[in-house]
């Protein structure tokens, strides 16, 4: 995850809840992708470390556990950069230029000059991030699938040069990573566009109860309901999407939907109940987050210790890679 701002409910349902489940099934590595934050935010780096620590507090809040999973910082394992450089030697530039997110992001972030090598190389740095741990699976959304296809192509090309396998012998060299696609809901924001920090339509995991209440009160609902007695539409209405996602009281949600459709409930009641449900869901996250933040130096220590553990594995991979490239002195 890139430390580019506060984490919100979209990150919770789209990533963190899934990551939390994976930690009891796999050896998981979760990292603060601080160099990746630089690929688009190179002009303004002052907040990266603060965001990183705040994001990790949110991970712990969401139930990720540094005892079960390795939490590390990309720039604290500089071998990622070494492998990235070596992968560059065998990667044709057109392979990177045709990655769909490359052109899309250039267009979306037109106010930034993204004509850098760093931005073009983003998916190749991701490749290094993954293969340096011999990772078999990467939990990602659909939009990242082409990045993993690129990773596999690059790994195959790299292995062809440096880890040739005689006919019939078992494969060796870098591991080809696969996408672990978990269908996740795309959570709408307060304005019914995708929840995203760039739209300023988020409910953040660190928002207090009063802030959540105020934000829910401004949420987009059915615009044709200018009065409470006009029948409303539930489908595609973010207030009800949220009720379905965050309110465990199914009877209450069904009753609100029925009365909304019949024009027998005011928005104030629907939203007040929603704010209570979201706050109840966030309370344990807030508690774990606050406890982690209250321990002086704890989050830095988690990242330093985790980065040491990650680095041991990264160094081992790089030993093999340097030997394969015959750069051993």
Phi then psi for residue 222, to 5 deg, are -65, 115
Supply the DSSP string of 156-204, one letter for each residue: HHHHHHHS---TTPPP-SSPPPEEEE------B-TTSSB--GGGT---B
Q: Give the binding range for ligand ADP (CB under 6 A) out of 92-100, 129-137, 194-202, 206-214.
A: 194-202
Q: Which of 2, 80, 273, 311 binds ligand ADP (CB under 6 A)?
A: 2
Q: Which of 21, 156, 186, 308 binds ligand ADP (CB under 6 A)?
A: 186
Rounded Cα distance, 236 and 234, in Å? 6
Least distance to ligand ADP, CB of residue 247, Å:
18
Q: Give the per-residue contact string, 245-284, with ligand ADP (x = CB under 6 A; - = no).
A: ----------------------------------------
Q: Which of 4, 39, 237, 247 binds ligand ADP (CB under 6 A)?
A: 4
Q: Give the binding range for ligand ADP (CB under 6 A) out of 58-66, 71-79, 192-200, 242-250.
A: 192-200
Residue 31: which of 96, 136, 126 has the closest Cα? 126
Contact between 63 and ligand ADP per CB under 6 A? no
Structure tokens at 289: 């987050």
Residues contacting ligand ADP: total by CB under 6 A: 15
Contact between 15 and ligand ADP per CB under 6 A? yes
Q: Which of 194, 217, 261, 300 binds ligand ADP (CB under 6 A)?
A: 194
Q: Which of 38, 87, 131, 195 binds ligand ADP (CB under 6 A)?
A: 195
Q: Which of 105, 109, 137, 141 binds ligand ADP (CB under 6 A)?
A: 141
**Residues pairing with 194 in the sheet:** 188
Residue 309: is it exposed, middle or buried by C-beta count within 10 angstroms (0-12/13-18/19+)? middle
Structure tokens at 65: 């556990």
Distances (CA, A) of 23 to 7, 18, 19, 65, 286: 20, 9, 6, 8, 21
In angstroms, how far is the first alpha carbon of the chain from the final one? Answer: 36
Neighbours of 161 (CB within 10 A): 12
Residue 73: which of 42, 35, 31, 41 has the closest Cα? 31
Q: Rounded to 5 degrees, what angle do the CA atoms 85, 86, 89 make?
A: 95
DSSP 123: H
State which residue, 108 or 218, has the beta carbon closest to ligand ADP: 108
Q: Give the per-residue contact string, 82-121, with ligand ADP (x = CB under 6 A; - = no).
A: ----------------------------------------
Q: Which of 53, 90, 145, 184 binds ligand ADP (CB under 6 A)?
A: 184
State which residue, 188 or 232, has the beta carbon closest to ligand ADP: 188
Q: Give the binding range for ligand ADP (CB under 6 A) out of 23-31, 190-198, 222-230, 286-294.
A: 190-198
Rounded Cα distance, 68 and 29, in Å? 10
State which residue, 4 or 91, has the beta carbon closest to ligand ADP: 4
State which residue, 184 or 234, has the beta carbon closest to ligand ADP: 184
Interface residues toward ligand ADP, by CB under 6 A: 1-2, 4, 10-11, 13-15, 141, 184, 186-187, 194-196
């Amino acid at each position: 995850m890139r430390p580019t701002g506060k984490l919100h409910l979209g990150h919770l349902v789209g990533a963190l809840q899934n990551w939390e489940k994976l930690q009891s099934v796999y050896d998981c590595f979760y990292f603060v992708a601080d160099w990746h934050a630089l690929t688009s935010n190179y002009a303004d780096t002052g907040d990266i470390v603060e965001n990183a620590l705040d994001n990790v507090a949110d991970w712990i809040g969401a139930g990720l556990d540094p005892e079960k999973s390795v939490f590390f910082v990309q720039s604290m394992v500089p071998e990622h950069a070494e492998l990235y450089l070596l992968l560059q030697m065998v990667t044709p530039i057109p392979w990177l230029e045709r990655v769909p997110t490359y052109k899309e992001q250039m267009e979306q972030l037109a106010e930034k000059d993204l004509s850098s090598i760093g931005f073009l190389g983003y998916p190749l740095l991701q490749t290094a991030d993954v293969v340096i741990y011999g990772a078999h699976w990467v939990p990602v959304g659909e939009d990242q699938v082409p990045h993993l296809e690129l990773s596999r192509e690059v790994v195959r090309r790299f292995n062809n040069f440096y880890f040739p396998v005689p006919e019939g012998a078992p494969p060796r060299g870098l591991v080809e990573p696969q996408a672990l696609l978990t269908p996740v809901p795309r959570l709408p924001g307060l304005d019914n566009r995708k929840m995203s920090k760039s739209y300023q339509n988020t409910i953040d995991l660190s928002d207090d109860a009063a802030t959540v209440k105020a934000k829910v009160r401004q949420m987009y609902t059915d615009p044709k309901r200018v009065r409470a007695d006009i029948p409303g539409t539930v489908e595609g209405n973010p207030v009800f999407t949220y009720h379905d996602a965050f309110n465990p009281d199914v009877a209450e949600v069904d009753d609100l939907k029925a009365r909304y459709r019949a024009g027998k409930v005011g928005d104030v009641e629907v939203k007040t109940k929603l704010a209570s449900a979201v706050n109840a869901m966030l309370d344990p996250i807030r508690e774990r987050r606050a406890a982690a933040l209250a321990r002086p130096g704890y989050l830095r220590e988690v990242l330093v210790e985790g980065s040491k553990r990650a680095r041991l594995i990264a160094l081992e991979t790089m030993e093999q890679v340097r030997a394969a490239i015959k750069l051993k002195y």
